[in-house]
Structure 1
Amino acid sequence: MEFRQELETGLLKQIGNTETTLKIKDVASKCRLLKTDNGLKVELSYTGPNASKYLQYVEKHREELTNYLLHPDDADLYEWMETSHQTTITLKKHEKEKLILFVNFDPDTNIVQTGIADENVTMKLGAPLMNINISEMSRNEFKLAIYDMLLLADEIAIAMGNSELRKMANIEMVKTYLSEIYDKFNNNILAQ
């Protein structure tokens, strides 16, 4: 907890957010879309604790919530954008950049992390696309995680308008490389 002393009163005022921040998925689960004469309207049907925070979130993110409720399959994209502090406007700024998908594997922890990087393999845009422990997954769960990650990368590339990143999100090499990691290092695989 952080405090700042106010000049006028000398009182200590708490700064920073002490509560967990709301996520679009949590807020959307308490909302519904209503058809009105003017189009679609997001209605919050929540009256529990912190209802005012939910209402503020709805007011501030009405467009994202509408899109999220209309297209629930895009949930991963909206959650990634929220975690990465990106908007459709900030993503468009990366349209002409040469971006790649990178894979980082730590053999000591069996953690596979993927993300969007520049040519110097410096992670861009904040949050990773995937961060999983492969020793806790079956081969099928891992394949599904790769598929979901590539879908998310493709959705991000489309939102950016970045055709180079879009090509990378569809390449077979990424899937092959990640599968090799799974086969080589996962201790849970039974010998064939």
Structure 2
Amino acid sequence: MEFKQELETGSFKMIGSTENSLKIKEVAEKCRLVKTDNGVKVEMAYTGPNASKYIQYVEKHREDLTKFLMNPDEADLYEWMDASHQTPTTLKKHEKEKLILYVNFDPETRIIMTGIADENVTMKLGAPLMEVNIDQLNRNEFKLRIYDMLLLADEIAVSMGNVDLRKMANIQIVKTYLTEIYDKYHENP
């Protein structure tokens, strides 16, 4: 469950429940695109548990669902936007910010995490781009995760119109640095 603290009273108010919050991917699995005279429309024939919540989600996010179903390769972007509570409108607000890609590796937990940060290396936008345990992936799987992460960063940069971040998503040094971490710290189980 999620709570927010109210400024006036200091008390906590429930704003959502993790059991009931739907993700675009799980709703899309219950939908399909249907061709009409006016183009395409999202149709849902789900009648199972919480069907009304799914219907409400479809009504509220019809445009995003249509884009998601038409471009399944952008699933990572939509999942990241869900996790970071971003929308195309909120992303646009970061268009002129000087943002960078950062990498954090913890040798004890073996977790490598990448994200979008400002120049002070303060994580922005709420959710990491990639978070993996390097010991659970072989080198090729790890390289694939890096490329997926860079594609996601590029899609985010395009969504916000941030030219500097887009340049960062294409730089060779990120790939090199991540690969060096993998080669130096990866332990075969």
Partner of 2:141 in structure 1?
141
If the length of structure 1 is used for normalisation, what is the TM-score?
0.89
From the superposition, tell whether residues 99 and 16 of structure 1 become closer, same or farther in structure 2 (CA, over 3 Å).
closer
Q: Deviations over 1:6-27 (max 9, x none)?
A: xxxxxxxx87426242111111
Q: Flag structure 1 segments of 5+ consecutive residues without an equivalent.
A: 3-13
Moved more, 94-103 or 28-37: 28-37
Give the C-alpha shift of residue 37 in structure 1. Answer: 2.1
Give the C-alpha shift of residue 142 in structure 1. Answer: 0.3
SS in 1 for 2:149: helix
Query: Which consecutive segments of 4 or more residues in structure 1 shift more than 4 A?
Result: none
SS in 2 for 1:56: helix
Give the C-alpha shift of residue 40 in structure 1. Answer: 1.5
For 1:112 and 1:120, how far apart are their aligned partners in 2?
Answer: 19
For 1:183 and 1:114, how far apart are their aligned partners in 2?
Answer: 17
Moved more, 43-52 or 96-105: 43-52
- Which structure 2 residues correspond to residues 13-24 of structure 1 after superposition, within 5 A? 16-17=16-17, 19-24=19-24
For 1:158 and 1:15, how far apart are their aligned partners in 2?
Answer: 31
For 2:177, the aligned partner's letter is: Y
Q: Flag structure 2 segments of 5+ consecutive residues without an equivalent.
A: 3-13
Partner of 2:156 in structure 1?
156
For 2:165 and 2:97, how far apart are their aligned partners in 1?
Answer: 9
SS in 2 for 1:67: helix
- Which structure 2 residues correspond to residues 172-191 of structure 1 after superposition, within 5 A? 172-188=172-188
For 1:43, the aligned partner's letter is: E
Q: Deviations over 1:60-96 (max 9, x none)?
A: 1111100000000000001101111111111111111
Moved more, 96-105 or 32-41: 32-41
Q: Deviations over 1:131-171 (max 9, x none)?
A: 00001110000000000000000000000110100000000
For 2:26 and 2:122, how far apart are their aligned partners in 1?
Answer: 31
SS in 2 for 1:35: strand
Give the C-alpha shift of residue 47 in structure 1. Answer: 1.0
If the length of structure 2 is used for normalisation, what is the TM-score?
0.90
For 2:140 and 2:15, how far apart are their aligned partners in 1?
Answer: 45
For 2:113, the aligned partner's letter is: Q
SS in 1 for 2:97: coil
From the superposition, tell whether residues 18 and 90 of structure 1 become closer, same or farther in structure 2 (CA, over 3 Å).
closer
For 2:103, the aligned partner's letter is: V
For 1:18 and 1:61, how far apart are their aligned partners in 2?
Answer: 18
For 2:33 and 2:15, how far apart are their aligned partners in 1?
Answer: 35
Partner of 2:93 in structure 1?
93
For 2:124 and 2:161, how far apart are their aligned partners in 1?
Answer: 16
For 1:84, the aligned partner's letter is: S
RMSD between aligned residues: 1.6
For 2:28, the aligned partner's letter is: A
Partner of 1:126 in structure 2?
126
Aligned pair count reads 178
Greater gyration radius: 1
Q: Percent identity?
A: 75
